[in-house]
Structure 1
């Protein structure tokens, strides 16, 4: 019974201390230090062994400039307790009294105590950090690790060096930590990403590269190949990253997944030459059918992107040779879908494409594989403007795979098809549902299309301009880009000054880019910026035009000015973070 009463009493006391502490902390944060002092003194007297209360009481005295009271308290505690972190506090109190000589004496004494008992390394260094005495904190952490190699304070050192702006030592210490804790590698990459840029000549990039190369020379561990590859990828030096990835693969030839990921990254940046080299390497080194099929598919896709009309027939032959080699069954279904897409959208043979994919549906497929085939069949029927048949396939996907990402994609295609048909009200109702899609990409596309419809549907009861625009959008989908451009010209002539104008200009600009009419694209983007600076596409026009200047037209100064405009005038833009990153890189900042 006594034990139960004791436990209840202790719980009651703990609850009371917690409430008092919260109240004192609140007073302290609000600058009501006299009120905070009364409560902290009460807490300290009740529990003198709690260092948190000692430090809070001392700090409150210091805020009230009661340095002598703080000094008396600290001297009493230093004489009674073997905790060198109190020496740091006492030294700092002398520093506040402008007695720098005495402050340094106590700082030195605290550091010396580490030699007697390295277990206090962290607490002493932490007190130095609390008072921004970073050089002393570095000294303590280093001494602690020197005296007891089992202690690891590389992360703490890295963060301090970051505060000091010594980025090279930040890299060194994070990498030292990674060397002891390889599982920290991904965290290290995230930390480093704040300090490097795409510019390989950036001071921080050069520094990290130099450190990694030294590490590799001293110890050719997989970690350093991995980190060096990651750095080259950030710099978009995919050929150099490929060298590191090949070295990693030779040390561990079980999987080509890392090299495949690199190829897809390079492909996404339209670096076709190095992408082809990487996929060819995968074909040379893989016996896995799925991996080989993926490589073949991407190689054919790249070849298609860069081919003229005369070369398309040769690409078709390559597809057919692959089917002869690997067959047509569930394992080659992705290649079959790619071939159906090629027939419809590149060779403009939609009937042949539909027939081919309907044969694919007769194979033993999973529900998901069947859905992907039907999704492409629906697209091909839209290409043929057989909208009602396309809607049947999309609806089947929604019924068979409810709430899945592919089902949401099918719902978006239902909305888009209805929009192509001119059934704008039904399309808008479907898009409202998709605004909360679990797929951010689908949600964004749905919102964009909904805004397009809602912005233009009320202005003209006959929807003449919107019907022309949706027809141009369909032509672009059908890969009839020049026809789409011409139809958009008609909109711009006949509906000048209407709500649809900036949308038409923007779509046309993107089509000009696709057809390499870059100067015309520039003109459109500039018109939007000059005349629609407060509209929804203004930030898009700034970003796309900046990207053109930076990556196509070799006019980095113009790009820099546009990125700066996004930073200062469009803070809510989805392009804000990327614009800031590119602006700093073009300005030549040493990122830190």
Structure 2
């Protein structure tokens, strides 16, 4: 019993201590420095070995302009702990805040002089300078420590300081020097460099970084230089150039082709079908691994589906694979892709359903079965069999709780309910998905939720929304002519209604799909004309830029990309619009 009481007392003490720390931090963050100082003083007196409490207490007193109090705190601490020389930095900074620069500099120098013989304190002194934005002194501290102790490595800190100072060239050079000495730092430095690089190849930092890496590649054929260039080109969505770098690595080292596969998959996701085709053709020519071969063939099929007009020729490509490799779990992804092709390209959903129901009989795992059921549900929705589709989607949700496939299934439940006109149930599912771990699913959920909410307030019966959902289903079913007619009927009946802008935008996307670009252009311009502040206006401007770019109407394309750059700085299209504008302007990227 006695032991229990002691343990309980200790636990309560720890909990109380943690509460005090949090309360002090909250006051400090909110700028209530007197309250924060009172708690930090109490914490410091209980545990003088915890320098964080003293540092925060000093910060509070300085914010309250109690410089003498701060000075006494520091000096008393140094008397008690004379080797904690980083507090000379704090003492100097206290004088600097009072504009007594000479005294401040003398204390800074005292800290640096201490490092001459006690280089083990390099990090604490350098960090103290850095925390007080004394960046030149921080550089001196870290550089001196590394000079005195060749085993010390503060290059990450030095590079970070150069970044804070805006000396981007020095920062990049420092990071690259780290890689040149030890290639294991490659992934680490890219995490930091990523903060200074955009997907805009014309960005000044991007250009500078590329030149620095290319210069090193010319003098030293390290694998890391190719890896870094591949990474940079991937950020800029220049997948063909990334492929060249990955191919050079593969030919030089005959290593894994994972990097090449990654380029091909991301290129496909970004509609760069030429690079996708080149990548997976290369993989077929350079691997004898059946899994790799089948993955390559699958992506080449995806490309064929996108670019070939002869659907029977694509069908024949599928049959050749099945004849060679059979319909087994090894070719399951290809069977699922074939079902999608039959449904959405050849309008043969019944045959597709048979393909998938046969696939379900294979001895596959729960994740493979989930993939089959998701595709089967899509095809049943295509066929208008909503309830049966919901059963398959719900089975995936139940079987794989909290997995990304379960979240995808939940979105499909919401979408199917929306197509059915059951908007309340759809909204219930969408509320959960707004916090999805998948950004894509979360965004899709938000978009669908906005459509439902924006068009429910003024129409309690939701008649316009039901008609729009039915037209949206036709779009999902790739019944483009019927969808356009249905959307036209909504536009004629609901002029001035909130549904009008969504209808115009949806119809414009269908016009683009069937290459009726003038009609798409008319719709996008109408959205801008109806309400220049509408939530879809930046989307309309971007789509117009894309349309004119396809038609090689350079001046018009630049005009609409520029609209986003100057008038919609928070648009999700901003970076792409800026990049495309600079390319059209002829910037060297």
* Alignment partner, residue 248 of structure 2: 247
Tell me how far apart the structure 2 counterparts of residues 360 and 50 of structure 1 sit (CA, whole Å): 64
Q: 1:409 to 1:102 in 2, by over 3 A?
A: closer
Corresponding residue of 1:364: 363
Task: Answer whether contact 1:481 1:511 (CA < 8 A) is retained.
Answer: yes
1:558 alignment counterpart: 560
Distance change (3 Å), C-alpha of 1:410 and 1:202: closer
Aligned residue pairs total 569
Tell me what 1:528 maps to. Answer: 527
Residues in 2 aligned to 1:400 and 1:161: alpha-carbon distance in whole angstroms: 51
1:283 Cα shift?
Answer: 0.8
Decide whether the 8 Å contact of 2:200 with 2:579 is kept in 1. Answer: no
Q: Tell me the residue number matched to 2:484.
A: 485
Match in the other structure for 1:473: 472
Q: For the residues of structure 1 that align with 2:114 and 2:232, how far apart are their CA atoms?
A: 41
Greater CA deviation, 178-187 or 528-537?
Answer: 178-187
Alignment of 1:369-448 (within 5 A): 369-387=368-386, 390-391=389-390, 393-394=392-393, 397=396, 405-420=404-419, 423-425=420-422, 428-437=424-433, 438=436, 440=438, 441-448=440-447
Deviations 1:251-283 (A, max 9, x none): 554532221111111112211111110010111
Q: Which has the larger radius of gyration?
A: 1
- For residues 26-105 of structure 1, what are the structure 2 equivalents within 5 Å? 30=32, 32=34, 53=54, 60=61, 64=65, 70=71, 74=75, 81=82, 84-85=85-86, 88=89, 91-92=92-93, 95=96, 100-101=101-102, 103-105=104-106
CA shift in 2, pair 1:511/1:30, >3 Å: same
> 2:156, 2:210 → 1: CA distance?
20
Work out whether 1:291 is the aligned partner of 2:280. Answer: no
Change (3 A) 1:115 1:557: farther
**Residue matched to 1:115:** 116
Residue matched to 1:161: 162
Partners in 2 of 1:365 and 1:79 — Cα distance?
Answer: 69
Give the superposed CA RMSD. 4.5
| C-alpha contact (below 8 Å) 2:62/2:94 kept by paired residues | no
* Aligned position for 1:200: 201
* 1:128-527 matched pairs, under 5 angstroms: 128-178=129-179, 185-250=186-251, 253-308=254-309, 311-387=310-386, 390-391=389-390, 393-394=392-393, 397=396, 405-420=404-419, 423-425=420-422, 428-437=424-433, 438=436, 440=438, 441-453=440-452, 455-456=454-455, 465-527=464-526
In the TM superposition, residue 414 of structure 1 has moved relative to its aligned partner by 4.7
Pair 1:579-2:574 in alignment: yes
Distance in structure 2 (CA, Å) of the matches to 1:99 and 1:141:
25
Q: Is the 8 A contact 1:340 1:354 kept in 2?
A: yes
Alpha-carbon spacing, 1:52–1:505, altered in 2? closer, same or farther (3 Å): closer
Contact 1:21–1:43 (CA under 8 A) maintained in structure 2: no
Please give the per-residue CA displacement for 1:467-488, whole angstroms capped at 9, x wherever unaligned.
5433432332222324322332
Is the contact made by 1:158 and 1:173 (CA closer than 8 Å) also made in structure 2? yes
1:167-206 deviations in Å (ceiling 9; x for gaps):
1222222334456676654443232222122333432112
- With over 3 angstroms needed to count, the CA separation of the structure-2 counterparts of 1:525 and 1:84, relative to structure 1, is same
Q: 1:150 to 1:501 in 2, by over 3 A?
A: same
| TM-aligned CA deviation for residue 151 of structure 1 | 0.9
Distance 2:362 2:50 in 1: 75
- Please report the TM-score for the alignment, with normalisation by the length of structure 1: 0.79
Query: Which range moves more in the overlay, 221-230 or 431-440?
Result: 431-440
Q: Secondary structure at the match of 2:529?
A: helix
Contact kept, 8 Å, 2:541 with 2:563, in 1: the verdict is no
CA contact (8 A) 1:198 1:585 kept: no
Q: Distance in 1 between matches of 2:25 and 2:437?
A: 46
Change (3 A) 1:49 1:462: closer
Whole-Å Cα distance in 2 between the matches of residues 27 and 362 of structure 1? 62
Q: Name the TM-score, length of structure 2 as normaliser.
A: 0.80
The 3 A distance-change label for structure 1 pair 17 and 235 is closer
TM-aligned CA deviation for residue 215 of structure 1: 3.8
Structure possessing the higher relative contact order (Cα contacts under 8 Å, 6 or more residues apart): 1
Task: Report the secondary structure of 1:342's partner residue.
Answer: helix
Unaligned residue ranges in structure 2 (runs of 5+): 1-5
Unpaired runs of 5+ in structure 1?
Answer: none
Contact kept, 8 Å, 2:464 with 2:494, in 1: the verdict is yes
For the Cα contact (< 8 Å) 2:74–2:91, is it kept in 1?
no
* Compared CA separation, residues 212 and 444, structure 1 to 2 (3 A): closer
How far apart are the structure 1 equivalents of 2:171 and 2:41?
A: 38
Secondary structure class of the residue paired with 1:436: helix
